[in-house]
Structure 1
Amino acid sequence: MNILVNDQLDETRNNLLTEITLLSDTQFNSKPDMNMWSIAQVCHHLVLVEQASLKAIAWGLKDGENAKKERKKIELLMLNRTKKIDAPKIVEPDSGPFEVQQIIDVLHESRHKLQTFLSTIEDPSILTEKSVKHPALGDLSLDQWIEQIYLHEQRHIEQIKEIKLLVNATS
């Protein structure tokens, strides 16, 4: 796998862990209002997205379309938080409550599975040659599916920072 992409996955995950590690379980599960997710739910959503992305990449390697798709500027789409993207049902988080350490463990497990799977791909160039439809971004090459994992996480790290401010402001 591309070293830069691997570094981005690691750096983004470390940033996420920095944001949540010192939270109490109460802060972690607090919702600024009834229509917002808690930080715990955001993190659970990130786990679900990573797991679903792994399945999509695995499926794409086996049965994905064999046509090169035009690369999309997914960073512009994913990092623009002025445009709300509704989570598909399959990646909607449970209502909780969750413990911080429980979610950290699940995040580690999920990332380990992803990296282990990606390390088994003998010829990573195949990732640019096959594509699978993403529910929010349309047809994406498999390498862009990997990129969207850390970009999506970066998007939600910003959301977590906002929730932390709101939770502290209302407590």
Structure 2
Amino acid sequence: MTKAATLHQLDRLDQELSALFSELECYDDTRLNHRPSDGGWTVLQVLHHLILAETASLGYVRKKLSFNPILDKAGAKAAWRLFVVDFYFRMPTKFKAPKGVDRSALPDESDFESTRKQWETQRKALRHYLSHLPEERFDRELYKHPFAGKMTLRQMLKFFGMHIKRHQKQINRVLKEAAV
């Protein structure tokens, strides 16, 4: 796991985010704030959840590195943890969001443009931070997923991609319902 490979993963993630924004920009804020009949999250609440998850992840990494810890080199266990996350995300089962990224942390209503800008700002901060880390940090178990455990920074970014894909299904379902 190298810095270059991690930044390449971030490039792919940014492309996926750009595609999501392109898909959503044709909808008005009323539709994006539509509360589904099952009482679930609106599309914009889903986006805020994803932003908060990424923000909290970066915050964890920053805090972890602030005291210069000794970090284990990543290996098969970290790869297994990411596999487990991927496996669970592919299941149709709903999961309770961790505190801080759950419904209580989400705005009741928001607008697409400010949400997009917030996420783009978060991604720029993430890119800046990762770009300035020394190479030797990238093969270490530095990120801690709330359920699966320790992973590398590249695996953290892969989790972000999986997380967006999982919620994409929810976004599509809410948009479809809002059209009726």
TM-score by length of 2: 0.81
Contact 2:45 2:108 in 1 (8 A): yes
**Runs of 5+ unmatched residues, structure 2:** none
Question: Does the alignment pair 1:22 with 2:34?
Answer: no
3-state DSSP of counterpart to 2:139:
helix
Q: Which residue of 2 aligns with 1:102?
A: 114
Q: Which residue of 2 aligns with 1:165?
A: 176
Contact 1:19 1:160 in 2 (8 A): no
Equivalent-residue separation in structure 2 for 1:152 and 1:41 (angstroms):
14
Output the amino acid matched with 1:85: F
3-state DSSP of counterpart to 2:93:
coil
Instruction: Please state how far the C-alpha of 1:63 moved relative to its aligned partner.
Output: 3.2
Output the amino acid matched with 1:10: D
3-state DSSP of counterpart to 2:48:
helix
Q: What is the correspondence of 1:1-171 to structure 2 with a 5 Å cutoff?
A: 1=3, 2=5, 3-61=7-65, 62-63=68-69, 65-69=71-75, 70=77, 71-72=79-80, 73=83, 76-77=86-87, 79-92=89-102, 93-123=105-135, 125-169=136-180
Change beyond 3 A, Cα 1:110–1:23: same
Instruction: Please state how far the C-alpha of 1:25 moved relative to its aligned partner.
Output: 1.0
What percentage of aligned pairs have identical amino acids? 24
Change beyond 3 A, Cα 1:81–1:111: farther
Equivalent-residue separation in structure 1 for 2:148 and 2:92 (angstroms):
16
3-state DSSP of counterpart to 1:63:
coil
Aligned residues: 168
Output the amino acid matched with 1:19: E
3-state DSSP of counterpart to 2:138:
helix
Change beyond 3 A, Cα 1:112–1:74: farther
Contact 1:68 1:141 in 2 (8 A): yes
Instruction: Please state how far the C-alpha of 1:162 moved relative to its aligned partner.
Output: 1.5
Output the amino acid matched with 1:117: Y
Which one is further off, 21-30 or 144-153?
144-153
Equivalent-residue separation in structure 1 for 2:70 and 2:13 (angstroms):
23
Equivalent-residue separation in structure 1 for 2:70 and 2:124 (angstroms):
24
Equivalent-residue separation in structure 2 for 1:37 and 1:133 (angstroms):
26
